[in-house]
Amino acid sequence: MLYKSLVYKFKEIIKENGTIFTEEDQLACYSYDAYAEIPVLPDIVVKPSNYEQIEKIIKLCNDANIPLITRGAGTNLSGGTVPKTGGCVLLTTGFNKILEINENDLYAVVQSGVVTANLAKAVESKGLFYPPDPGSMNISTIGGNVAENAGGLRGLKYGVTKDYVMGINFFCPEGNYVKSGGKTVKLVTGFNLQGLMVSSEGMLGVMTDITLKLIPKPKTSRSMLVLFKDMITACEMVSAIIAAKIVPATLEFLDNFTINTVEEASKIGLPTDAGALLLIEVDGYEGQVEEEFSKILEISQKMGGELKVANSLEERNKIWEARRKALSSLARLKPTLILEDATVPRSRIPEMMRRIQAITKKYDLTIGTFGHAGDGNLHPTILTDRRNKTEMERVEKAIDEIFEAALELEGTLSGEHGVGTAKAKYLEKEVGKGTIIYMKKLKNGTDPKNILNPHKMGL
């Protein structure tokens, strides 16, 4: 709990149009995020209304040794906004202005609290495209996307958030305002500090404005669904498509358990006896789309898949509903959902899926797997109940083994959800001691009192 005198100082800073929460029931709303982490109450929550207020809040926290946790929409899946030792939660949702969309130079400048889907819609109305599309895009913020390097369904062809960051302005704990990058395609003045902010998980600065690259909107697209009797052939088709030199805009995977769960929840007509399915969308110019579509049809026939094409917008929406509903359908089954994002080189997906199945059996757990197969980014989703201690012990062991399998197959602990607290204990195993030492030095040098989002990534 903060001394009254400190609360008074916060109130003084944000008295013009800002908001402050200090009551327990209000604080409780900011004690958790989308990861199944034990909630911790912050001491205070502030929603500043201008950058001057951010600057003063960050300095006050630094002077008074108060942890500062920057929070966008709180949808991260790694415990990144849980205030582990209390402190001040700073909400960025008031900074929701799109400051510029430049059609000549193909960039947008946005405030960090802009909702991802709002930017996507705004640029699409001008014939432009901002591809990163996390499943949470209707609520997640651009600041949160940058801090987690969010991916999404289009990562395979279009890359992830980091591929669109051109510049970022941010505040540091001692009050410095850093301007990095800019609006030009080429820019090599000084360190690539905007790159440093990508995946920084709120630990290196509070971002205010972000300049993002835009591209022309693809002319046309075609969606299809390929059903397979067995899961491994579905996984093998992912590599076969890439080997045929086709890079679909999206290439998603649902296993039999997830198909059944979606069908039970939404009745969209998915065949529940399919071992797995792939959802594919190709986009670009008409001729290219048709050529790629024919090649995929050919591959699917050769591999024994059953291909269904969307011939109308309604059919397209139905196909994609299967993917959009995957997480929420699984979430209906048990009180606690742990969504992992172990990622492997895509040619190793069949082996990774075999290992996930073996781990599920070994620990007698309920795990549905879906994900961005084209990126090798799988989401084994563990359905459990945090109150069941013996099951949670088995869950822990299963997660350990899933991560071990990903690393053995030359993959990574996290393709897009970040480290936060969820994967902190595994980080060194992937990156090595030298990297941890370097990260600590970087953090200590820019935030000597460890004010910004402490205890995340184990730092």
Ligand X SMILES: Cc1cc2nc3c(=O)[nH]c(=O)nc-3n(C[C@H](O)[C@H](O)[C@H](O)COP(=O)(O)OP(=O)(O)OC[C@H]3O[C@@H](n4cnc5c(N)ncnc54)[C@H](O)[C@@H]3O)c2cc1C
Q: List interacting residues with ligand X (CB under 6 A).
A: 33-34, 69-77, 80-81, 92, 112, 134-136, 140-141, 143-145, 147-148, 150-152, 201-202, 206-207, 327, 416-417, 453
Question: Of 171 and 228, which has the nearer Cβ to ligand X?
Answer: 171
CB of 294 to ligand X, least distance (A): 29
Question: Are 374 and 296 within 8 A, CB to CB?
Answer: no
CB of 184 to ligand X, least distance (A): 23
CB of 168 to ligand X, least distance (A): 9
φ, ψ of residue 330 in degrees (nearest 5): -65, -40
Positive or negative, the CA dihedral 140, 141, 147, 152 is positive
Q: Which residues are within 8 A (CB) of 130 and not within 5 positions of it... i.e. 6 or more apart?
A: 108, 119, 120, 123, 164, 212, 214
Question: Of 70 and 381, which has the nearer Cβ to ligand X?
Answer: 70
CB of 223 to ligand X, least distance (A): 18
Burial environment of residue 269 by CB neighbours within 10 A (0 to 12, 13 to 18, 19 or more) = exposed
- Candidates 74, 77, 32; CA nearest to 337 is 77
CB of 142 to ligand X, least distance (A): 8
CB of 86 to ligand X, least distance (A): 15
State the SS3 of 365-376.
CEEEEEEEHHHC
CA distances from 385 to 74, 259, 388 (A): 22, 22, 6
Question: Of 75 and 446, which has the nearer Cβ to ligand X?
Answer: 75
Find the farthest-apart pair of alpha carbons in the chain and give their distance in angstroms, rounded. 73
Residue 247 token pair = 């890079």
CB of 285 to ligand X, least distance (A): 27
Residue 318 token pair = 């139905």
Question: Of 289 and 378, which has the nearer Cβ to ligand X?
Answer: 378
CB of 393 to ligand X, least distance (A): 26
Q: How far apart are the first and last CA of the chain?
A: 23
DSSP 104-132: TTTEEEEETT-BHHHHHHHHHTTTEE---
Question: Of 350 and 418, which has the nearer Cβ to ligand X?
Answer: 418
What does the alpha-carbon distance between residue 435 and residue 82 come to, in Å, rounded to a whole number?
Answer: 24
Question: Of 261 and 300, which has the nearer Cβ to ligand X?
Answer: 261
Question: Of 112 and 300, which has the nearer Cβ to ligand X?
Answer: 112
State whether residue 36 is helix, strand or coil: coil
- Candidates 131, 109, 70; CA nearest to 194 is 109
Question: Of 51 and 129, which has the nearer Cβ to ligand X?
Answer: 51
